[in-house]
A = this chain, B = another copy of it.
């Protein structure tokens, strides 16, 4: 499908409405009204309401994936567990603060996707969370982090990061950079990094 300007506008207002009222709580007419067109006219641009949700979720999932891949691959030297986890957290917070509405829809509304698409997203989320799990496990093994269940720790950290969509406001007290720094610190400390930084592998 061609990427028209109108299509982008539709996804933008839909993100805002889905964020505030949820997918089920937003009607096709609600989206149309925000664009000053008739409800039926929306179908000149999109195949279905579900397709709009899918575009938002898929695009945002890809953003998270690319940012995490970059953080894992091109992390600052040395590529220690501490530095990699810090880069992953920073990347995640960056995507969220860059577009809270789309991020919020991705986090909360993927349940409203059709079964096949939901399964696809579930798989990709697990793969994404796997990056966190494996770096935490690696840090536990080499002494960078304190011992502990990497699965529980990864879930804990990721849901804390995702919770940002519920309270982040672009005009809030803390800037994206301040939040990012605070969240990196909280995440690193939660797995016991810092107390043993001296064990870190020399460059």
Contacts and interface: CB of A to CB of B under 8 A. Distances in A.
A79 to B, nearest CB: 23
Interface in A164-203: 164, 166-167, 173-174, 178-179, 182-183, 185-187, 189-192, 194-195
Interface in A133-192: 146, 148-149, 151-153, 155-160, 162-164, 166-167, 173-174, 178-179, 182-183, 185-187, 189-192
A25 interface: yes
A150 to B, nearest CB: 11
Contact of A159 (B111, B152, B166): B166
A160 B153 CA distance: 10
Contact of A179 (B21, B25, B108, B152): B152
A148 B188 CA distance: 13
Given A155-B163, A156-B163, A160-B163, A187 B190 contact: yes
Nearest to A167: B155
| Copy count, this protein chain | 2
A152 B186 contact: yes
A25 B159 contact: no
Contacts of A182: 148-149, 152-153, 156
A82 B149 CA distance: 21
Interface in A8-59: 20-25
A114 interface: no
Given A148-B185, A186-B190, A189-B191, A159 B156 contact: no
A73 interface: no
Contacts of A179: 152
A158 to B, nearest CB: 7
A160 B152 CA distance: 11
Interface string A86-114: 00000000000000000000001001100
Q: Which 4 A-B pairs have the closest CB atoms?
A: A159-B163, A24-B24, A160-B160, A190-B190
